[in-house]
Amino acid sequence: MTHSDLLDRYAQLIVRSGVNIKPGQELVMTAPVDAIPLVRLITEHAYKAGASLVTTLYGDDSATLARFKHAPDASFDKATGWLFDGMANAFKAGAARLAIIGDDPSLLAGQDTDKVARANRARSKAYRPALELITSFSVNWSLAAAATPAWARSVFPDKKPEAALDALWQAIFSCSRADTPDPVAAWAEHSRNLRQRTDFLNARRYSALKYKGPGTDFTLGLVDGHVWKGGGSLAQNGVTCNPNIPTEEVFTMPHKDRVDGTVSATKPLSYQGTFIDGIRVRFEKGRIVEAHADKGGDVFANMIGTDEGAARLGEVALVPHSSPIAKSGIVFNNTLFDENAASHIAVGQSYSDTVANGTSLGKEALAKAGANQSLIHVDWMIGSAALDIDGVHADGTAEPLMRKGEWAA
Ligand code: ZN
Ligand code: ZN
């Protein structure tokens, strides 16, 4: 198949299996300028599926960099609140959301970390009303990737630019199952498999998970009434969407006050244009009380210092080490892919639909249940072929859940 055939199938997959746009529904898309060919195909397929209006907001890495190089200091406490409010209004009015990502993982590596932290905080704060509508699945939404030259260069530094871009597209197509004869059907089957796993985990009613691996020895409490999710999600508007393309994870809600022990990351984390590598933290009663990173330690410290919830967990996800993305052997320097290659945890905002009746509970009731709240939500990878996980029942009895990174039950 030619690249343009694959790109067209991929666009169709994103529209149908990813966001699952409904006739008459508006679509708000964000994308990097380098993704224009994909965005145009998505727009075409969205209109063919009956979208009433497709609006794309483009981002440009060069413009972002220009800001960090030349903007006055006060710029870094500003954010486009007016734009995010507009997006929130669109979601409230029923618009679907699609984010195409393809960022340069080290765009801001050489920039002033204080400015980066301030800009991130201002953005997270301004984006909060829109993000809440997304994390509570008020509307159908999806996140997918486009290969861009800068991202490809970081993943395949030894290849020539053209070859690197090509290799990254191939990897995206294959991890997303866009290169199968019927990608939409392949996704339906994949979703069913993930559903079997979540059904199994939901029936076990574990009260905690116990992790043991190199540099990792910790217990993570799950909230009472936690719900394991994976694959398709039923949004509150009645539309089933696949929020991440690709996805291999099953995930649920950790208790914000019941995490204890030491955790080491197994992959580097690209956070808002900087690399954080060699993360090692210690939790006490749910909170990170000691944090270390071999690289990007100050960025990591700023990240978990964003607010009270930024040093507590909002998500726990399990991914077998044999997932197709892990098997590709590629470190993507991008969380959408890397989180689906390894079991992971996320500091920050929890997904309210991962606790029973969570989307109809208010903030206080959610907090009482153990749901974490924060301006940020950042996943980091802790899974490997050396990680063992036990499921612990309320009476303290434990059973093997994962052994050497694979499902044991
Ligand atoms: Zn996740
Ligand atoms: Zn996450």
Distance (Å) from CA 1 to ligand 1 centroid: 31
Same domain, residue pair 155 and 195 = no
Distance (Å) from CA 317 to ligand 1 centroid: 5
Same domain, residue pair 188 and 170 = no
Confidence of residue 264 (pLDDT cuts 50, 70, 90): very high
Q: Give the CATH number, domain containing residue 104.
A: 3.40.1830.10
Same domain, residue pair 154 and 201 = no
Q: What is the mean pLDDT of the chain?
A: 95
pLDDT tens for 203-249 read: 999 999 999 999 999 999 999 999 999 989 999 999 999 999 999 99
Name the domain boundary from 146, 175, 204: 175
| DSSP-assigned letter for residue 351 | P
Name the domain boundary from 114, 148, 175: 175
Residues with CB under 5 A from ligand 2 (ion): 315, 346, 379
Domain total in the chain: 2
Same domain, residue pair 229 and 313 = yes
Distance (Å) from CA 336 to ligand 1 centroid: 8
* DSSP bridge pairs for 283: 261, 288
Burial state string for 279-305 with b = 16 or more CB within 10 A and e = fewer than 16? bebebeebbbeebebeebbebbbbbbe
- Residue partners of 13: CB distance under 8 A and separation at least 6: 176, 177, 178, 183, 184, 187, 245
Number of the ligand closest to the Cα of 377:
2
Confidence of residue 80 (pLDDT cuts 50, 70, 90): very high
Distance (Å) from CA 70 to ligand 1 centroid: 35
Backbone torsions φ then ψ of 64, nearest 5 degrees: -60, -45
Same domain, residue pair 256 and 224 = yes
CB 312, CB 281: distance < 8 Å = no
Give the residue with greater pLDDT, 357 vs 152. 152
pLDDT tens for 138-196 read: 999 999 999 999 999 999 999 999 999 999 999 999 999 999 999 999 999 999 999 99
Residue range 362-389: average pLDDT? 94
Confidence of residue 202 (pLDDT cuts 50, 70, 90): very high
User: Token match 């990502």: residue?
Assistant: 101
Name the domain boundary from 175, 192, 214: 175
User: Strand 398-403 relative to strand 269-271: parallel, antiparallel, unpaired?
Assistant: unpaired
Same domain, residue pair 217 and 165 = no
Residues with CB under 5 A from ligand 1 (ion): 249, 251, 317, 339, 379
State the amino acid at position 284 in one-letter form.
E
Residue 70 has pLDDT above 90, yes or no: yes
Residue 327 has pLDDT above 90, yes or no: no
Residue range 341-365: average pLDDT? 91
Distance (Å) from CA 10 to ligand 2 centroid: 23
Same domain, residue pair 267 and 119 = no
Distance (Å) from CA 157 to ligand 2 centroid: 27
Residue 276 has pLDDT above 90, yes or no: yes
Confidence of residue 109 (pLDDT cuts 50, 70, 90): confident
C-alpha–C-alpha distance, residues 375 and 131, integer Å: 9
pLDDT at 139: 97
Same domain, residue pair 149 and 212 = no
Distance (Å) from CA 381 to ligand 2 centroid: 10
% of the chain with per-residue pLDDT over 70: 100
Backbone torsions φ then ψ of 281, nearest 5 degrees: -135, 160
Distance (Å) from CA 267 to ligand 1 centroid: 14
C-alpha–C-alpha distance, residues 409 and 404, integer Å: 13
pLDDT at 135: 85
Residue 270 has pLDDT above 90, yes or no: no
Same domain, residue pair 33 and 142 = yes
Distance (Å) from CA 63 to ligand 2 centroid: 27
State the amino acid at position 83 in one-letter form.
L
Domain residues for the domain of 99 are: 3-175
- CB count in 10 Å sphere of residue 383: 29
Number of the ligand closest to the Cα of 251:
1
Same domain, residue pair 249 and 131 = no
Number of the ligand closest to the Cα of 348:
2
Same domain, residue pair 248 and 371 = yes
Same domain, residue pair 32 and 120 = yes
C-alpha–C-alpha distance, residues 213 and 202, integer Å: 25
Number of the ligand closest to the Cα of 342:
1
Confidence of residue 324 (pLDDT cuts 50, 70, 90): confident
Distance (Å) from CA 315 to ligand 1 centroid: 7
Give the residue with greater pLDDT, 281 vs 361. 281
Distance (Å) from CA 239 to ligand 2 centroid: 21
Sign of the CA dihedral running 196, 198, 202, 208:
positive
